[in-house]
Structure 1
């Protein structure tokens, strides 16, 4: 169950400090069989903010829960107004050096798979294949009544037509594609129904308070079981949806390595935590391993 986020987690005393030594990361990648688990931190260099850390969105923004979304038309209007505005920026984001490095490691056969907690699709845009989107994707929209799925671009077009001239200035953009708007800015924004059955449309993402589909969890556990090691990239591991895979890897005796600027809930289970920007760190590892990254998408 993905619950409302913890807003005030802080590392306990005794956690190992972060390092700048990339040697262990390079060593496990050279050995192959690495399962990557990525979080919002890998996308910050693409202009998408993270939830936690300095300036993280949870310091000013609590994502809407599934219960709020399905429970009130007013909540859905607020969500879609904010998300529609945010999509104009979110949908234009492009992969950064970190995403391109992960894709390059995959092309070289060094990875056992990629699990991402992100909903931005940037791993796939960079060329990574077989990415498991743990929390879904903002690039798709699903009907809660008939289960039909449409591309986000199609919904964006319909919302533009229904809300001509809607162009408020948002205070900020959040990792879930939600722009910060006041109730006054939301105004009488018009939400459009499913084009097939007239039902309620929802982004194909796992909201806080909603369960990750069991088959998806089972697939992730299968990937953990088949991997030689687990490399966490840009995740604080604050929510259990990602932390459970770190715990499973550690219980199985598989090395866990973390690249994240700030301390994480998994540090005590990790061989090392590299405290460095993802793009810089992964590019440096690729160079050390003579893995060509290129400019990518």
Structure 2
């Protein structure tokens, strides 16, 4: 069913959440746009300005590593002060009352954690851009540390422990998906009886497969997204409206 308006969609969503035993929120970039973080594909989105740097190019080229970090520092200047929006806070409320055991996200912005969902219960399928890791030994580095050294040499620093390449803890095109996160997301998907796909275009695989896995396993599927998705016709409820407006009433304090 496609809701005729936001209010109708909100009413049906509330009924579905109330009757569900286990709700699994699955989020994409659309939940963070009201926080000042643009999505990737829409006009003015991040990828319309700079094509993403594939993982293979990052590893093969110092120039590409330097460029990747330059872009990361620009993002920090533009969006580093972003705070959780109404959608994030609503999902944190569902977590606090025991309706949602975790949040599965395609986002890398750390806003679910900032909204109050514990780090261990935010399943990040595409990693996290708020810190960095050595690709060889896994040592963690803070972005501020990388920036400080970049500004001195105009090059991305290498790992001080093993000399490996330091990259934001995100999953780039061509990079392997995080196995533990994928396994946990699958287990959560199979456990839920209501799957909420929020702010995702549902075109990036394999993450986009989770809504259909939930549906095939007997869960009801809700899609809340400004634009239509390829899965709308199989969803139990589709709401094409502002995510913050629809989810705001679910925020509890």
TM-score (ref. length: structure 2): 0.90
* Structure 2 equivalent of residue 262 of structure 1: 227
- Residue 67 of structure 2 corresponds to 78
Q: Which residue does 1:156 correspond to in 2?
A: 147
Alignment of 1:155-234 (within 5 A): 155-160=146-151, 162=152, 189-234=154-199
Per the alignment, residue 15 of structure 2 pairs with 27
Deviations 1:218-255 (A, max 9, x none): 11100001111100110001111321101101111211
Question: What is the rounded CA distance, in whole Å, between the counterparts of 1:253 and 1:18 in structure 2?
Answer: 25
Q: Which residue in the other structure is 1:53 paired with?
A: 42
Q: CA deviation at 1:58?
A: 3.5
**Alignment gaps of 5+ in structure 1:** 1-14, 164-188
Q: Match of 2:53?
A: 64
Task: Give the SS at the match of 2:208.
Answer: helix
- C-alpha change, 1:59 and 1:150, in structure 2 (3 Å) is closer
Q: CA contact under 8 A between 1:29 and 1:111: conserved in structure 2?
A: no
Counterparts of 1:153 and 1:108 in 2: how far apart (Å)?
36
- Matches of 1:49 and 1:133, distance apart in 2: 18
Residue 136 (1) aligns with residue 127 (2): yes
SS in 1 for 2:229: coil
Q: Deviation at 1:102? A: 1.0
Relative to structure 2, which stretch is displaced further, 20-29 or 128-137?
A: 20-29
Instruction: State the aligned residue count.
Output: 248
Select which of 272, 285, 288 maps to 2:237.
272
Scaled by the length of structure 1, the TM-score of the pair is: 0.78
Q: Deviations over 1:113-143 (max 9, x none)?
A: 2101000000000101211011110122111
Q: What SS does structure 2 have at the residue aligned with 1:68?
A: helix
- Partners of 1:77 and 1:29 lie apart in 2 by 46
Q: Which has the higher helix share?
A: 2
Q: Which runs of 5+ in 2 are unaligned?
A: none
Distance 1:253 1:273, change over 3 A: same
Aligned twin of 1:184: none
1:151 CA displacement: 2.5
Q: Distance in 2 between matches of 1:35 and 1:85?
A: 33
Separation (CA, whole Å) in 2 of partners of 1:64 and 1:156: 19
Contact 2:221 2:235 in 1 (8 A): yes
Q: CA deviation at 1:19?
A: 4.5
Q: What is the rounded CA distance, in whole Å, between the counterparts of 2:47 and 2:4 in structure 1?
A: 23
- Partner SS state of residue 238, structure 2: strand
**SS at structure 2 position matched to 1:80:** helix
